[in-house]
Amino acid sequence: MSTELIIKLREMTGAGIMDCRNALKESNDDVDRACQWLREKGIASAVKRAGRLAKQGLVYSYIHGNGTLGVLIEVNCETDFVAKTEDFQNLVKEIAMQVAAAAPTYISREQIPASVLDAEKEIYKAQLKEEGKPEKIYDKIIEGKIEKFYTQVCLYDQIYIRDISGKETIKDLVTNAIAKIGENIIIKRFARFKLGEE
């Protein structure tokens, strides 16, 4: 195991030197697998923090396109100290840019009203009927379409716009930040404004 690999993994993940060493050892010096190992470890530690109160944080405004698109977002953490750190502020900025670029409607799938989901299911059912699909497979197909719907309208389910692998969601981004920063982090609310849009 080379020092260069440890440094590379540390730069990629922000994890501690010993964690990087252990991850590389567990993954036979495969950096991608080591990243995954650290993410899983981070998720485990993030779950422990999820119950903690997060009442500090930052309200951030992001303006794009010479004032034609704007986002106002509130992201919470546990302490004022963390709210002032570069890592946390960069995270908030990235999330605001995600909202600007991907235009989510909700933060999480739990916020979607049942009436909205029911309406989507009815649309999908009508489409399947029109296509002549057998009724017995409707449920399975609709379930897949609803999962795709979540990735379009829920911020946490969206693929992070900067992730070139196309696998990291905003939930993953926040979870990794929780593991790195050591505090619970919650996206509280956002508003997106586009010039001329109703």
Class (C level, CATH) for 3-49: mainly alpha
**Residue 42 pLDDT grade (very low, low, confident, very high; cuts 50, 70, 90):** low
Provide the token pair at 83. 């709210």
Class (C level, CATH) for 56-108+154-194: alpha beta
- Non-local (6+) Cβ contacts of 104 within 8 A are 98, 152, 153, 154, 155, 158, 190
CB 156, CB 170: distance < 8 Å: yes
Could you say which of 3.30.450, 1.10.286, 1.10.3470, 1.20.1250 is the CATH number of the domain covering 113-151? Answer: 1.10.286
Share of the chain above pLDDT 90, in %: 49
pTM of the model: 0.71
Kindly report, as residue ranges, where domains of CATH 1.10.286 are found in the chain.
Answer: 113-151
Distance (Å, whole) CA 94 – CA 99: 9
Q: What value does the mean pLDDT of the chain take?
A: 86
Predicted pLDDT at 87: 94
Angle between helices 31-49 and 17-26 (to 10 degrees): 120
Predicted pLDDT at 44: 46
| Better pLDDT: 126 or 13 | 126
Kindly report, as residue ranges, where domains of CATH 1.10.8.10 are found in the chain.
Answer: 3-49
Predicted pLDDT at 51: 57
